[in-house]
Chains A and B, each alone.
Chain A
């Protein structure tokens, strides 16, 4: 800050310098004077409604709210004059009158300020207060503690843009409402909990906190105004193995040591709790705060877990969003309330070996593994697990083995796992779920621009004028990313949503293109056609930085929107407008998800998106580029670290002899020259008896693969299957040996988010029972397969990883511990990070990007007379992936407890059905029964269902046809028949 820019003014007779844009309140606080305030909190727009912060300004008739008033040079303001104090106190006393102290949370800001200003009993009669609303499983509402400050409303509407909370009625009846004053639990609330984090008094609280006996109702809220030293970061660093100055545990073995508590009481919360009229509730030392990461999607939210209890009793009470680069303090319902799964009763805590003679099936009860397995010691289980694989290798060769790593594990675990398969098994048959998510996107990106990573981070939407979201439902699957998109729209950016299904972002879209299922390539070509026809291409960019445009140009010109309108269902005029908007930007950004990738033409879809960016030069700058939204919390890192059959870590091709030689030197062992098989290919090979043994870490192909009957038969037919997981998943049910592993809450590791941001987790809970860190288990397996491994922990593994991966070479463990987050690629320790890629050139042989012409191809299975409708699968806000974690998180499962599918009401009516009817969905591969929800978001003839429900597994229906390039199955499209289901009551 240039001192010359500072604005000098007088506060209570003292000269203070305000920075431009600062309010009186902010400047005063920086200068050490905390003016009372309630409706103001950092990070939300100042609203000036509570009037607790009023100050006297010389020359003004009435007092001014210091949170909303900018200082002017020479202004004389008084926050502590008798007149200002009288109003500050009166405001507090008026609010004090209405809010019963026993309804407030322990660190209530109202109580704090009443204490500070000596406001004791109120002289006014209390209002009539409403009854508590406990209809939401995660959030307790008690508007008796509400002071109508609208912080929750601003958090809901201006920050998260979920628009559920309103301020209704007026005068003394003014009240916070959800939707139409509905109970929160039945409103459209998406449970992000941002309102809870924003509430100063406890009118909104985590339900777990209200229900936990003996736990003080304290939620350090976001206001740094009240609690200058927010008790977020624990200070147990000295107790961690690495002994760094941060709070992170260096190794998983230090997990329990890292749990040394830092009390929430002491200087932080007690000040308010002991205010003279604050509740007598004592702020005990029962909770401590530990910084880590959210375990779910690729957004990569930083979190602070508040934990109570010691050892086996340790329990997460609630979660607060940390100010990370990707989430800025925000969380969604999964991050906020999905923390229960590590302590679910189904959690595996002992190694298990299949009992002899028990046939392999997925009919087991996950709460009772002992029906099919017996408990074993680690020695015995590891010996059995490794020996089975070694036997197969000896008898049938290394290529009879395969491994699935996990995009939920850390980079270190992914690196170790692929190294084990490549060096211990002796094959490249290693893959993971990215095959089922973005393999086609990555194939197209590598082919077109030489890199599979996103070009720009999500939060670049801040710099974008046009945001295209196609085949993605970020409001459900990347909710925090969606919140930044909605913020951008509020700022004035234009959102173009393209999807066959009307998803929640449609309400914020400038244009919503609800194209017909399977018409995606045609639609994208028609947009390209408009850009070319209307001369909107960036010829300079094309000439300087690309090749192959001519061929693409001719391919695209065959698809003018007027001609393809009957195919896409999009009016030509709309397609033209959207194409122009995207091309003209000035800055346009594309996001996509599985709606693009999970088709047999998924690679063609991505090729079109890449071509759109290249022909308009919408890449290589802030607010532009290509962003395939990554699903799992470490799908980027797991791919980077080499859980890909044709690539070594950092996308170095197995088939390249020079690369192979490099890794043979690094790993000191000869390596196969044969690229491995992908997920679905491995399943086919298993069914064909070519693959006989597998090691699966943290993946659930028996739920996530297409055509499950086929996948389950393949897994069940293996000679030997080792599964390492938290629960008895459907895959684990088919295992010979099960190794109880660690959840993110119990481990230290680095994770790479969708933005290429590398961040560290640290243990929040101790490992339960005999469960072990995944890296430790993999190392034990490696040792038993003859590898001389002896890593001390994640830090040492990461150090090897970065020497194998040029993109991570510049990132050190110490830097991760220090900075919380480091952007990859970072090639040297002293060099820069690259949030935006391809500014100068593309990482291809000649630095140029390549256009690849495409032609629309029909889906593998089109509707016909027998199966007349289209089935598409996807996810639901509250559940994650196959549901193995979220369905074991009580709040999330309470919010979405049952399988369902969405059908247009007219389609249901045609069968004589209404919303809530039980229906049977049948494809050529299987049939399931579930509830149908009438939903006008659907097109006629289409059915959508989430794949997280084991009771009605969507993938029993889906079909396994593969994209020829990405080898990704066509989850998003198959022919289906819907019939009414008659229930037979028993």
Chain B
């Protein structure tokens, strides 16, 4: 599958952490000594170590075998894939397995260890230590699930399921419309309670069934891929495609909102080879729209992706999907195989599996992760459009942005732009969760207000709940009070209130909730998910979370700290992390014993 990647990967520049291209990653039998087997100690002093047991060499070999069987020379950038295979096969990453894997890949031990311990879905087991229980039940405790009793569910499961099962509280698993959510192995339990989860545990069911999506033939039968065929044959020229996107005003829907047409033009103007990276690492608490689109109509996205690759002149495509979307990954893998059969001359497409790291949704962190490294965001400049994946100019898009391409081109940019209200243009996909009667993905006008959204699309508030406030853009977009429920929701419109719409994840809360607890939950989330690279975020999120536990907040210090986090953090995670905390000080000061601020609603 990834054969064609080799050429592209070989041209990569030197990585930031000194992990550039590895010379001849895997020993290929070129050394013809009689000793035969791979495996030295990893350094001159390694001689003092016991040689690795045969079982470890076998485990590492098995982790690499699927690549070799597929005719792919194991590569350092696929390290996380190999770690998954070890974790899946053995239930954890055992020290000697990792050492053997490092040797086989010509990595130093530290290089493997630092990657393995960056991702929460890997469990490293030091030599002599006990392995974790075979089964893990992950219970979401991010915003929506927290309001729905996620923490209590986790606590009760921990006692009920006993020592054979590990219960972990984890950040958002992307199913906020069915809160609270627990995940047994890889099987999500929606609207979970302890009985439901215990039953699943007992049943032995560990995998989620494939969603009932529109598959290739059905999609094609209703006109799907006609546009792609037209673009492919040259019937549709690249310019007209970009012009349509321009006319629609399509912006990046992962959260940053960068105009899509401008991005395509910029990358297309860079020297070849150019790479493409698709972000399905949907991890912002409250966000589940990409899951919705992938689970229902995956080919609309794939077609958009192929068109983008064609128009921009892409040499290779990497799709990065979060580990929590296991069934979607299987679905996507199947459909991509189908597409490759249909059009064998496509650029190589590699599907990559995340491993539990919110920060990998940040575009440059995702690139680092695809390169097999810790998901630490890069400093900019240079921008990923210029120097991105494997050092090449890179077109990076969120799934939804590509999902809209076909409709916009077929119906015309004007069609898309004709939607919108309150002076805004276009369609937005709102992931609505929290205290509303009908949570879910709502595709509607950009610029709709929260009040309109709840009333027109969500069946109003839950019985017994009155609107108290809402997160307009997931955990990082800040918090607005009920008094600002009439502000148009769109890019740029929330800036005056210290908020942003981001991925349009609307988390609604009521008089039964406290803004400060939700803000604290958000800050804990950021502290948990900070990559740890820069001081303001690594230390700042932890210190802020600590300060926010005080009954009365030290508003002065928190504001000072927040300013530095926003000003001096490397990436959006640290820059946005203070938003909910600052929103509380601004809009809900009474909850934290702070003085009402000027400009507060």
Name A's B-contacting residues (CB within 8 A): 45, 47-52, 54, 62-63, 65, 68, 83, 86-87, 90-91, 94-95, 97-98, 123-125, 127, 147-148, 153-154, 157-158, 161-174, 177-181, 187-190, 475-476, 489-492, 494-495, 500, 502, 504, 506-516, 565, 568-571, 574, 876-877, 895, 900, 902, 904-905, 915, 933-941
Contacts and interface: CB of A to CB of B under 8 A. Distances in A.
Contacts of A178: 110
Contacts of A162: 43, 108
A179 B113 contact: yes
7 contacts: A51-B535, A94-B540, A170-B532, A171-B527, A180-B99, A189-B45, A516-B34
A569 B33 contact: yes
Given A163-B111, A188-B43, A939 B33 contact: yes
A154 B17 CA distance: 8
B35 interface: yes
A561 B47 CA distance: 32
Contact of B536 (A51, A147, A166, A489): A51
A47 B126 CA distance: 30
Nearest to A88: B568
B577 to A, nearest CB: 11
A63 B567 contact: yes
B1 interface: no
B117 to A, nearest CB: 4
Nearest to B575: A62
Contacts of A475: 44
Interface in B438-481: none
B543 A94 contact: yes
Contact of B32 (A180, A187, A574): A574
Given A49-B533, A178-B110, A936-B39, A512 B30 contact: yes
Nearest to B118: A170
Contact of B23 (A63, A148, A476, A508): A508
B428 interface: no
B207 interface: no
Contacts of A568: 32
A179 B109 contact: yes
B538 interface: yes
A347 B25 CA distance: 49
A949 B81 CA distance: 46
A63 B567 CA distance: 5
A174 B537 CA distance: 12
B42 A188 contact: yes
B531 interface: yes
A489 B560 CA distance: 46
Nearest to A95: B535
B31 A177 contact: no
B496 interface: no
Contacts of A895: 45
Interface string B552-566: 001001001101101
B530 A125 contact: no
Contact of A190 (B16, B44, B535, B563): B44
B539 A62 contact: no
A936 B124 contact: no
B568 A54 contact: yes
Contact of B126 (A68, A180, A502, A937): A180
B543 A124 contact: yes
B29 A171 contact: no
A512 B32 CA distance: 9
Interface string B205-238: 0000000000000000000000000000000000
A624 B444 CA distance: 67
Given A179-B109, A570-B32, 15 more contacts: A54-B568, A86-B563, A86-B567, A161-B18, A169-B532, A171-B530, A180-B113, A180-B124, A180-B127, A508-B106, A513-B32, A515-B33, A571-B29, A935-B51, A937-B35
B570 interface: yes
B23 A166 contact: no
Interface string B174-213: 0000000000000000000000000000000000000000
A97 B543 contact: yes
Most buried by B among A157, A162, A188, A565: A188
Given A91-B568, A164-B110, A171 B532 contact: yes
A87 B557 CA distance: 13
B9 interface: no
A511 B563 contact: no
B50 A934 contact: yes
B20 A177 contact: no
Nearest to A56: B567
Contacts of A168: 110, 113-114, 117-118
Closest 3 CB pairs of A and B: A174-B532, A166-B110, A188-B43
A156 B41 CA distance: 18
A939 B564 contact: no
A174 B32 contact: no
Contacts of A52: 535
Interface string B34-72: 111111111111111011000000000000000000000
A514 B35 contact: yes
B369 interface: no
B563 A87 contact: yes
Contacts of B20: 490
B499 to A, nearest CB: 16
B51 A915 contact: yes
Nearest to A877: B44
Given A51-B534, A172-B539, A933 B48 contact: yes
B532 A941 contact: no
B529 interface: yes
Contact of A94 (B528, B529, B533, B536): B536
